[in-house]
């Protein structure tokens, strides 16, 4: 099935204007696939770490993370938003299961259709480049899922509003 998602820029180091994209993609796409699709839609280089998380707000500390942190060590944020190594590895992608090396990267194994519908009052967020802290909110659009049309390539950017942010603006 093809789903329609809305991707809305919430914040980032050089996020000066609003930007939102509507993307049609296969519901079986993983979060890692979604990362690449969002990178292409926003026009960013795929040159930094990323992660997804489900939380009430972008800044909620109560969150379930779906990322590849095991490759680089576990990180969390202190009160100032700076990254600190997380000594307690905590939950990884599922509130009831602890992460282990054999399980792999949660972003590569978690599909959109396996993640949605989200729990009440929870939203899906995508964070890219932990230094510049680009944060996007991802939600399902109200469009009904549909069967893929033969000969049509997916994913597809359906539309966008606002101005795409520059990942690396020219210095003044």
pLDDT for res 8: 98
- Judge whether 52 and 64 are in contact, CB under 8 Å: no
Has residue 167 been placed in a domain?
no
Has residue 43 been placed in a domain?
yes
For residue 1, pLDDT over 60 is answered with: yes
pLDDT for res 167: 94
Q: Name which of 10, 112, 129 is nearest 60 in CA terms.
A: 10
Has residue 102 been placed in a domain?
yes
pLDDT for res 91: 40
pLDDT for res 79: 55
Angstrom distance (rounded) from CA 54 to CA 162: 25
Has residue 75 been placed in a domain?
yes
pLDDT for res 80: 56
Range of the domain at 48: 2-162
Has residue 172 been placed in a domain?
no
Q: Which residue has the higher pLDDT, 91 or 142?
A: 142
pLDDT tens for residues 87-134?
444 343 444 333 333 345 899 999 999 999 999 999 999 999 999 999
Q: Identify the CATH number of the domain in which residue 131 sits.
A: 3.10.290.30
Has residue 168 been placed in a domain?
no
pLDDT tens for residues 14-48?
999 999 999 999 999 999 999 999 999 999 998 99
Number of helices followed by number of strands (H, E) in the chain: 3, 9
Has residue 153 been placed in a domain?
yes
**Cα 61 to the center of its chain, rounded Å:** 16
Q: In total, how many domains does the chain have?
A: 1
pLDDT for res 104: 53
Q: Which residue has the higher pLDDT, 165 or 87?
A: 165
Has residue 7 been placed in a domain?
yes
pLDDT for res 78: 54
pLDDT tens for residues 52-98?
999 999 999 999 999 754 433 344 555 555 555 444 443 434 443 33
For residue 156, pLDDT over 50 is answered with: yes
């Amino acid at each position: 099935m093809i789903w329609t998602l809305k991707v809305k820029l919430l914040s980032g180091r050089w996020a000066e204007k609003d930007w939102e994209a509507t993307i049609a993609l296969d519901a079986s796409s993983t979060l890692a696939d979604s990362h690449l699709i969002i990178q292409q839609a926003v026009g960013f280089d795929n040159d930094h770490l990323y992660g997804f998380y489900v939380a009430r707000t972008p800044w909620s500390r109560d969150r379930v993370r779906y990322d590849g942190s095991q490759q680089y060590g576990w990180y969390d944020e202190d009160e100032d938003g700076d990254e600190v190594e997380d000594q307690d590895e905590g939950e990884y992608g599922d509130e009831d299961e602890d992460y282990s090396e054999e399980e792999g990267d949660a972003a590569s194994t978690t599909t959109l259709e396996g993640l949605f519908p989200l729990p009440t009052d929870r939203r899906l967020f995508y964070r890219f480049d932990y230094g510049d802290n680009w944060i996007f909110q991802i939600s399902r659009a109200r469009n009904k899922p549909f069967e893929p049309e033969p000969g049509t390539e997916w994913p597809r950017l359906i539309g966008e509003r606002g101005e795409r942010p520059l990942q690396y603006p020219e210095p003044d």
